[in-house]
Amino acid sequence: MSESNSNHSDSSNERLIYTRSTPKENQAKTKSNTSVLAAQIKLPIFTAIALGVGMIFGARFFGGNGDAFSSSLVGFGDLQTEESASDQAKKMRQVLSYIEDYYVDTVNLGDITDDGIKEMLSKLDPHTSYIPAKDVEIMNSQLEGDFEGIGVEFVLFEDTIQVIMPIPNSPSSKAGIEAGDRIIKVDETPVANIKIDNRKVFDLLRGKKNSKVNLTLFRPYQNKELVVTVERGTIPTSTVEVGYMLTPKTGYIKVSRFGMNTFKEFETQLNKLLREGMKELVLDLRGNPGGYMDQAVKIVDELLAGKEMIVYTDGKKDRFDSEEKAHRKGNFEEGAVVVLLNEGSASASEIVAGALQDNDRALIVGRRSFGKGLVQKPITLRDGSEMRLTISRYYTPSGRSIQKPYSDTTDYGLEIMERYTNGELYHADSSKMDIEKKYKTTHGRIVYGSGGIMPDIFVPRDTSYFTPYVDSLYSKNVVRNWTSTYYNLNKENFKAMKLKEFVSSFKIDKDLEDNFLNFAANQKIVFNNSEYQISRAFILNQIKASLGKLNWQYEGYYPVFNQEDKEIKVALENLGKAEALKKYYLIKE
């Protein structure tokens, strides 16, 4: 996790949410029988499955229209009759007044009100939500572009802030903070072993540009404490993590989320790859939870020729009905495209995949996507808190709603876990997609609605390297600790190395491997040779990829990590099918 950016929302812009969000146990009430759901799960690569909570991000609605729905106004008159809303509001005020005047104990009316709003909204659908004022900035921060802070990527491990890496050329990097450092005090505030949470870390590390903060660090490989003064600055963020050539003619672009500048970042990487000779593209949207809708639409438009439909929405009010079509000449309208999806790909990611699939523009490879097709409007309340209200559904060009059912809210929160238990992540025929809801692409291929985007080519989740030994390594943070130590001790050698040389020639030799295993043993990881041999290729690949990330960021990580990625291999093996689909797509009636 990195420091969160500041959010300066413009109430003149229409902002809708196209991202998976916090699952809630509730009873859904929908306008039609196209009911649906969403829940977020964090799927750590190496550890046991754990249900997680998704960040809720704001999204711009097709370029925005300040007259459509001002986020500074509640607008109850449009949602139900003014008299009805007014009567209910009076009842709530009456209850709060009686509590304040008569209740036997002292209570916090703000907390009671917040809890009441949350409970009320929980009766609507899984994505309508309430965010207290203190949390709004953090909830929006990952998509809002640059932010002001010290510039570190960190993780909370064993109740300590551990630096994964300083962001290159950031204030923290310039101050000498290193990967693996533990932050134990911020100015005079102790932050280790106090049950600190991410919110508190953000509050302490972020701050106005040019302001200063003193950090007390513990550096494990030197076994010493040191104090550094960091002058905060503007920290750039990137949502397109990398673009590089997988083969002499196949490019790869990884989009982690759809933020404010995603299309510009995508366009930069696309044009770079075109200059390097790219003829085919693998677009990786795995684990992408969504984000700004206009950025997703622009990426589709860059790949889709003509004036084809990209997405449309249907809401209770006509002004929430809209459609987006391709309208400009893109730089990659004819090259073969493969899109990678998985169970972590949600909302805006699904819109991209659905538009390209329905228009026969791309081959979809991977596993069924998350399944979120509800659109939320952020409404700023007078105290700065925010209500995110579902105001429409979106549909792919063929008419599919990809929203999965949410009438059973218990199942809704556990649905991703169920994909593990029912075998869906390992067998395509275990999917619970509603095969009765058939739709056709532009040229007649059958696709399905109500429950995410089904891939054209299914790839089971790779668990071949899962062993108790590899799980213990990651649960104890051994790989990260060893790589940060080794990198810091050999930093000058890495700095002198070229990236291509590292990717092609750097090896984890026997001495390095033994060094790592001894380090793990010193961390009380019990060695099991049979398990290690099963996981060995994965572990060594992770070590090398992690070293690459520390020196070249994601440009040094993905070219190594993807060498062992089975879904990448399947994508490359099926580029011929993508090429055939491309020719099919180019047939104009």
Q: Above 70 in pLDDT, residue 52?
A: no
Q: Above 50 in pLDDT, residue 143?
A: yes
pLDDT above 70 coverage of the chain, percent: 84
pLDDT band, very low/low/confident/very high, at 146 (cuts 50, 70, 90): confident
CB within 8 Å of 461: residues ≥ 6 apart = 342, 367, 425, 426
pTM of the model: 0.85
Q: Above 60 in pLDDT, residue 231?
A: yes
d(CA 68, CA 64): 8
pLDDT above 90 coverage of the chain, percent: 69
| Mean pLDDT within 98-126 | 92
| Mean pLDDT within 414-432 | 85
Query: Which superfamily is assigned to 1-128+238-461 in CATH?
Result: 2-enoyl-CoA Hydratase; Chain A, domain 1 (3.90.226.10)
pLDDT tens-digit series, residues 209-227: 999 999 999 999 999 999 9
Q: Where are the domains of the chain?
A: 1-128+238-461, 147-235, 468-567
Q: Provide the Cα torsion 363, 366, 368, 369; round to 10°.
A: -90
Q: 3-state class of 493 per DSSP?
A: helix
Please answer whether residues 140 and 57 qualify as being in contact, where contact means their C-beta atoms are separated by less than 8 angstroms.
yes
Q: Above 80 in pLDDT, residue 296?
A: yes
Q: Above 60 in pLDDT, residue 291?
A: yes
Helices then strands (H, E): number in the chain? 19, 25
Q: Above 90 in pLDDT, residue 401?
A: yes
Whether 147-235 and 1-128+238-461 are alike in CATH topology: the answer is no
The CATH class of the 147-235 domain is: mainly beta
Q: What is the pLDDT of residue 413?
A: 72
In degrees and rounded to multiples of 5, residue 2 shows phi and psi of -110, 170
| Mean pLDDT within 394-410 | 87
Q: Above 50 in pLDDT, residue 27?
A: no
Q: What is the mean pLDDT of the chain?
A: 85
pLDDT tens-digit series, residues 473-525: 999 999 999 999 999 999 999 999 999 999 999 999 999 999 999 999 999 99
